Amino acid sequence: MKKGLILILTIGVFSIINTEMGVVGILPLISQNYGVTVATAGLLVSMFALVVAISGPTMPLFFSGVNRKKVMLLVLSVFTVCNVISAFASAFPVVLVTRVIPAFFQPVYVSMAMSVAGSSVSEKDAPKAVSRVMIGVSAGMVLGVPVVSYISSMTSLRVGMLVFAAVNAVALIATIFVVPDLPVKERLSYGSQLSVLREGRTWLSILGVMFLNGSVFGVYSYLSEYMETVTRLSAGLISILLLVYGLSNIIGNLIAGRMLSSRPLGFVVTFPFLLAAVYAVLFFLGSFTVPMAVLTFVWGVLAGAAANINQYWLATAAPKAPDFANGLFLASTNLGTTVGTSVCGFFLSGLGTRYIVLGGILFIACAFVLITLRVRMEKGGEAYGKVQDHADKGRKSALLPRRLYGRSGRV
């Protein structure tokens, strides 16, 4: 049942992310169909991301005390209905509204899926279970764009948009018949969950995740531009390498799941150096086709691993409130993507396309500092805790009857 449950959660997450990202490939068709500019059609992407960033911390918190299965059914139903309406909508504002409404519920399902997956196995295997769910995120981002774009070009925009609803419906039906009832065993008050925001390590983790995700997606956002202007690749080869990047994300998910289960701290601390090394090589060898192809694969693996690291880093910062922590993870990563893209765009416009990697390295450096600060804070707290335990034992021994001790004061 555990494997079946995690599989359904992965499919559900895929259907949610497919709705979010799949529309990217059909923006030109949407522009033509509704008589709006491509920039206006782009609101379907930017507004969705903005709503997710806003609702990320709040909506999972609001639904944290409700039966997990019922919440999943509600979210998948909202996505299915809204996607059907958007497919048959005759006006662009209607399409925009039917994108915004499910965006509020996206963090609810994704954060809950990760929490349920993690709690369905032992604590040690939790990162592996979460990494399986993260495959749904990677697959949604990788397969959603080309598949929906191809179907829409071969049939019609309406059919392409109905694909979103169909995938949501499959996940909905599977949830109804396969996922068991998932009542909340221990309902946490809103106050107890919000209390994690009073802890320094939570804020260090939020900022660390924001910078780490910004370092990945700030550069990735301009990857096509980089390949075209610096590496001078054809459009067809660029499409192939982007697919390689996306598929290697899945490999990164699996590797990160194993590493975070066996050597989590070492993996997290080492990761920024690995990503910085890739960016350094990219800066010097990015103009050559073969090195660029190899780097794209390696970079994709690291990007997939980064998603797992980000989730792990916030989940372990607030273990008392897993749903809320996953909501913070989604908000932090979306905010990081926005800020990272803006900063790397500044480097691009000011210095040239090749220099976007400098923005990525800057964000990596900030992320490493924040990771190090949290590690030192926790090691300091651990040392303080040992001193306190020793002191407590001392006080207890002082209260024991003297007849238990010899002249030296030892037992």
- Are residues 383 and 358 located together in one domain of the fold? yes
Residues 81 and 207 occupy one common structural domain: no
Residue 375 has pLDDT above 90, yes or no: yes
Residue 139: give its domain's CATH number.
1.20.1250.20
Q: Is the dihedral of CA 37, 41, 43, 45 positive or negative?
A: negative
- Residue 395 confidence (pLDDT) above 70: no
- Asked if the model's pLDDT at residue 289 lies above 50, the reply is yes
6-23 as b/e: b if 16+ CB within 10 A = bebbbbbbbbbbbbbbbb
Residue 406 has pLDDT above 70, yes or no: no
Claim to verify: residue 92 and residue 118 sit in the same structural domain: yes
Q: Look at residue 186 and tell me if it is in a domain.
A: no
Percent of the chain predicted with pLDDT > 70? 91
Return the residue matching tokens 């000011």.
350
Distance CA 18, CA 137 (A): 8
Average of per-residue pLDDT across 371-397: 61
Question: Does residue 402 form part of some domain?
Answer: yes
For the residues 143-171, what does the mean pLDDT come to?
A: 88
Same domain, 197 and 338: yes
Does some domain include residue 187?
A: no
Whether residue 268 sits in one domain with residue 147: no
pLDDT value for 411: 27
- Report d(CA 105, CA 283) in Å as an integer: 39
114 and 211 together in one domain: no
Confirm whether 272 is domain-assigned. Answer: yes
**Which H helix or E strand runs over 303?**
helix 289-317
- Structure-token pair, residue 114: 């990760």
Same domain membership, residue 210 and residue 161: no
Average pLDDT score, the chain:
85
Domain endpoint, select from 127, 148, 179: 179
Is the pLDDT reported for residue 139 higher than 90?
no
Q: Give a yes or no: residue 184 inside a domain.
A: no
Residues 209, 295, single domain; the answer is: yes
pLDDT at position 215 is 94
Q: 212 with 279, same domain?
A: yes
For residue 83, is it within any domain?
A: yes
Q: Name the more confident of 279 and 191.
A: 279
Question: Looking at the structure, do residues 377 and 343 belong to the same domain, yes or no?
Answer: yes
Q: Nearest to residue 52, comparing CAs of 345, 362, 332?
A: 332
Q: Among 179, 209, 226, identify where a domain stops.
A: 179
The pLDDT of residue 188: 67
Cβ count within 10 A of residue 177: 7
> Does residue 108 lie within any of the structural domains?
yes
50-91 tens-digit pLDDT: 888 888 888 888 888 889 999 999 999 999 999 999 999 999
More confident residue, 293 or 197: 293
pLDDT recorded at residue 383: 45
Instruction: Please say which residue of 147, 179, 211 terminates a domain.
Output: 179
pLDDT given for residue 393 in this prediction: 47
- pLDDT tens across 88-123, in order? 999 999 999 999 999 999 999 998 898 888 888 888
Q: Does the pLDDT at position 392 exceed 70? A: no
Segment 150-171 shows an average pLDDT of 91
Residue 141 reports pLDDT greater than 50 = yes
> Structure tokens of 216?
């990945």
Q: Which domain holds residue 10?
A: 1-179
Same domain, 295 and 225: yes
Count of domains forming the chain: 2
Model pLDDT, residue 381? 59
Whether residue 337 sits in one domain with residue 232: yes
Which of 82-86, 241-245, 400-404 has the highest average model confidence (pLDDT)?
Answer: 82-86
